[in-house]
Structure 1
Amino acid sequence: MALALRLGATGDGALGENIRLFPGRPVATARPRQRILLSPPSLVGGELASLDHTLASGWIAPAGPVPEAFEAAIRAATGTEQGLAVSSGTAALHLGYRVLGVERGDEVWTSTLTFVATIAPAVQMGARPRFLDVTADSWTLDPDMLETRLRQAANKGKLPRAVVPVDLYGQSCDLDAIVTLCGRWGVPVLCDSAEALGAEYHGRPVGKGAALAAFSFNGNKIITAGGGGALVSDDAGLIARARHLATQAKETAPHYQHETTGYSYGLSSVLAAVGLAQIGALQDRVAARRAVFARYALRLSDLPGIAFMPEPGWGRSSRWLSVLTVDPARFGTSREQVRQALDAAGVESRPVWKPLHLQPAFRGAAFHGNGVSGHLFDRGLCLPSGAMLPEEQDRVIDTIRACYRG
């Protein structure tokens, strides 16, 4: 059986590639590509057998043994008691907001330095976002700023319905500090860990310790199902309610009975089969991404004005994306000029997330900051970070070095 799959990313992902699977043959690119992508899908070689088995079994829908097995693998990878596989990371976040009781008019607080999907479902539900800045030593939600704002909100009787820290580019937020602060005022924490599967925080998987955590298996992620996501928790009740909503909120009855409305958010058996084949390679993928980052740092850190996303002592980043900053005064070239030079050399790169408080979609939303996120947006650049041949990474490195105007 020969299948050709397009596992290209959607939403926030890099452009995908046509990838052909052949039984018994490696799937890595054998020769340098004309264009080096930011984070293209990478296959382990077992996807075809997993798909073949799933199709032969007759299970296609989001039900049956394969999604159940994938959920068990997700629980193992995240160290959580409960897990639900769904159609996307955004769907996981949406369900998280629903089961935490977010309603129209509620406030939801999150880091401003993140992808729009972190907050979009809450806004679509009628909630009001409040954005907080990040720290320079982690690029994640600033706990000190959070504490100040929570105390002020408590004094006014206007606490948020939920706080949503983000594990950015594979790096964990300071989750214990955030959960402790929020627990002081009874505010639940929904951790957006979509970019960070495989990363660690104080030796445990990211997201563990929050009321809920959401992950993504989009085409550009470290483990991909070609799409999909997961919502995990140690609270069986929360996941049971999320599962109910994800299956159109159907009640137990011989007919279709609905006490509320839900969603068609189940992950198909076909996509679950791809994810199940991949997830066993998670730690190998983390090691490979960290090696890519280490080579960038080794070859570029000597350049004046070049710095890399720091790794706080509390965690071990998956380095889903390798991210550097460019100080134009010292490097002699701006971040945007470097990006354009890479593009001309056939290399995809991307500025760091534009802070949400600067996005037109959230014009007028409350923001509390110290300028860190805006500074990072002006100078930050995400580099190709997936499976690359040494000569491909050399092309990236040599192009950046050629931009230096010392």
Structure 2
Amino acid sequence: MRGNEQKYIREAFDSNWVAPMGTNVDLFERDLKTYLNNVHVTTLSSGTAAIHLGLILLGVNAGDEVICQSLTFAASANPILYLKAIPVFIDSEEDTWNLCPIALEEAIIDRIKLGKKPKAIITVHLYGNPYKIEVIRSIADKYQIPILEDAAEALGSSYKGQKCGVFGDISVLSFNGNKIITTSGGGALVSHSEDIKSRAIFLATQSKDDAIHYEHSEVGYNYRLSNISASIGRGQMEILDEFVNLRRKMQVFYKQLFEDVPGVYVYDVPDKDYFSNHWLSVITINPAETNGIDCNDLRLAFEAENIDSRPFWKPLHLQPLHQDFPYYGGNVAESLFAKGLCLPSGSNTSEEEKARIQNVIDCVFKTKKKIKIKSLFSKNKSLFENNVFVNFFSKIRLETT
């Protein structure tokens, strides 16, 4: 929080608008509309609510199939189950770690052969890194399947200069407490027409028909964002670009920190067309190149110093909840989960905290080097006994370079 959040909250209290409507809701939606370049924005109680309404607006019903990226948080797929629809999970590709175009088209062709053409495709910008926008869109259009873009982690990211959150037929944002900006809890549905926005508001406010009394002809939901939460969002929008820059600086911090550590890869965009907010900085560790150090070793070392780090999202097709649903692709997502770690990435990470992080990383990898050197001493005991020092210290130099 940077200050103006309290100002806008005070305005809401002073005007006595604390319900899920009011000036701050309207102005927060206006700010998002401007930021995303003139789309239609409906603010809601969560990003999950936005996905749920998005699927309804795309015509998903019970028994329909919906394609979903497997390497993502459970909230991307849970709304499919709310509707009693069937998720079809797709592997990641190795460039962006997002939805694999090859596996996607294989799945679509196979489901069509089975008489089960998917009703929608849920795409995700993993950890803020955009997916392969153009190739996924071309496949979706080829088979006339709409895209629901899950940009929950990607506000502030862009592809070829266009902000994420506008690439889907319907898109969603999240303002949960851990996102790039927050309303404490909240989300938004982004669309390209005023009609879809009006329909989204109708569904999100209990589907009240146009009558003087409370008339309801269809199921509705209590999904609208409160005026108080929108007050926080207005203040956060004023510093969104600053927060994106701070997250990107954390990414640079980790890139430099691991620059000379073989076997550690810092997840990044594939080329200059992609711009990531780096909502989370994440790494993969290959133990074969780090003398046996794996992501769990580093996680436990952080934990011992009261520093939080987490494994990647566990692929949804591996979750007990989803074990009976179709899956297409190889083992890219599974492999990333096995060797990946999400690092502390907050916009407010202090220099002191960065020093603590760096100290743990240095200790973990340098300690392993010391163990290797010690092993070399024991293996070359005869060198000492025969006073053949030149050869021995040459080997020591190679080990420590």
Mark the runs of 5 or more structure 1 residues left unpaired by the alignment. Answer: 1-42
The one-letter code sitting in structure 2 at the alignment partner of 1:99 is L
Q: 311, 314, 327: which is aligned to 1:367? A: 327
Q: 1:384 aligns with which of 341, 344, 352?
A: 344
Tell me if structure 2 keeps the 8 A contact 1:352–1:380: yes
How far apart are 1:176 and its partner, in Å? 2.2
Q: Residue in 1 aligned with 2:119?
A: 161
1:179 paired residue number: 137
Partner residue, 1:61:
19
Partner of 1:39: none
* Between 155-164 and 254-263, the greater mean CA deviation after superposition: 155-164
- How far does residue 199 in structure 1 lie from its aligned partner after superposition? 0.5
* Residue equivalent to 1:16: none
In the alignment, the residues of structure 2 paired with residue 132 and residue 350 of structure 1 have an alpha-carbon distance, to the nearest angstrom, of: 23
Amino acid across the alignment from 2:299:
R
- The aligned counterpart of 1:26 is none
CA contact (8 A) 1:83 1:232 kept: yes
1:336 maps onto 2:296 in alignment: yes
State the one-letter code of the partner of 2:353: E
2:250 to 262, 283, 292: 292
How far did 1:366 drift? 0.9
Whether the 8 Å contact between 1:78 and 1:197 is mirrored in structure 2 is no
Residue type of the alignment partner of 2:98 = T
Corresponding residue for 1:227? 185
Same amino acid, percent of matched pairs: 39
1:105 aligns with 2:66: no
Asked if the contact 1:325/1:376 (under 8 Å) is kept, the reply is yes
Amino acid at match of 1:62: P
- Whether the aligned pair in 1 keeps the contact of 2:106 and 2:328 (CA below 8 Å) is no
What does residue 393 of structure 1 align with? 354
Residue 316 (structure 1) aligned with residue 275 (structure 2): yes
Residue type of the alignment partner of 1:399: V
Q: Is the Cα–Cα contact under 8 Å of residues 80 and 208 in structure 1 kept in the other structure?
A: no
1:169 aligned counterpart, secondary structure: helix
The residue identity in structure 2 corresponding to 1:380 is: G
Distance 1:364 1:319 in 2: 33
- CA–CA separation in structure 1 for the residues paired with 2:177 and 2:17: 22
Q: Please tell me whether the aligned partners of residues 200 and 206 of structure 1 are also in contact (alpha carbons under 8 angstroms).
A: yes
1:180-219 map, 5 Å? 180-219=138-177
Equivalences for 1:134-145 in 2 at 5 Å? 134-145=92-103
Aligned amino acid, residue 374 of structure 1: E
Worse overlay, 45-54 or 259-268: 45-54
Q: Give the match's secondary structure for 1:139.
A: coil
Q: Which amino acid aligns with 2:358?
A: I
Q: Which runs of 5+ in 2 are unaligned?
A: 370-401
For 2:195 and 2:2, the matched residues in 1 are separated by 35
TM-score between the two structures when normalised by the length of structure 1: 0.87
Ranked by relative contact order (alpha carbons within 8 Å, sequence separation 6 or more), the top structure is: 1
Cα distance in 1 between the residues matched to 2:185 and 2:358:
30
**Aligned AA (2:104):** L
Alpha-carbon contact 1:175-1:207 (below 8 Å) kept: no
The whole-number CA distance in structure 2 between the counterparts of 1:127 and 1:353 is: 22
Q: Please list, as runs of the form range in 1=range in 2, the aligned pairs for 1:106-125 lying within 5 A after superposition.
A: 106-125=64-83
CA distance in 1, matches of 2:87, 2:32: 29
1:271 to 215, 229, 235: 229
Cα distance in 2 for partners of 1:294, 1:60 equals: 41
Count of residues paired in the alignment: 364
Is the CA contact 1:137–1:310 (under 8 Å) kept in the aligned structure 2? no
CA separation in 2, counterparts of 1:279 and 1:292?
20
Alignment-mate amino acid for residue 305 of structure 1: G
Return the offset for 1:143: 1.3
Task: Quote how far apart the aligned CAs of 1:80 are.
Answer: 4.3
Counterpart Cα distance in 1 of 2:52 and 2:24: 23
Looking at structure 2, the residues matched to 351 and 316 of structure 1 have their Cα atoms a distance apart, in angstroms, of 24
Q: Which has the larger radius of gyration?
A: 2
* 1:27-42 map, 5 Å: none
Determine which structure has the larger helix proportion and give its number.
2
After superposition, what is the alpha-carbon deviation per residue over 1:303-348, rounded to whole angstroms, capped at 9, x for unaligned?
A: 1111011302231000000001111121121111110110111100
Q: Give the counterpart letter for 1:401 in structure 2.
A: D
Match status 1:252 vs 2:210: yes
Q: In the alignment, is the contact (CA less than 8 A) between 2:129 and 2:268 conserved in 1?
A: no
**Counterpart in the other structure of 1:85:** 43
Q: Distance in 2 between matches of 1:134 and 1:299?
A: 27
Structure-2-length-normalised TM-score: 0.89
1:9 aligns to what?
Answer: none
CA contact (8 A) 2:254 2:266 kept: no
CA deviation vs aligned residue, 1:131-165 (integer Å, no higher than 9, x gap): 10111110110112212222333344321010001
Where does residue 71 of structure 1 map in the other structure? 29
State how far apart, in whole Å, the 2-side matches of 1:78 and 1:118 are: 21
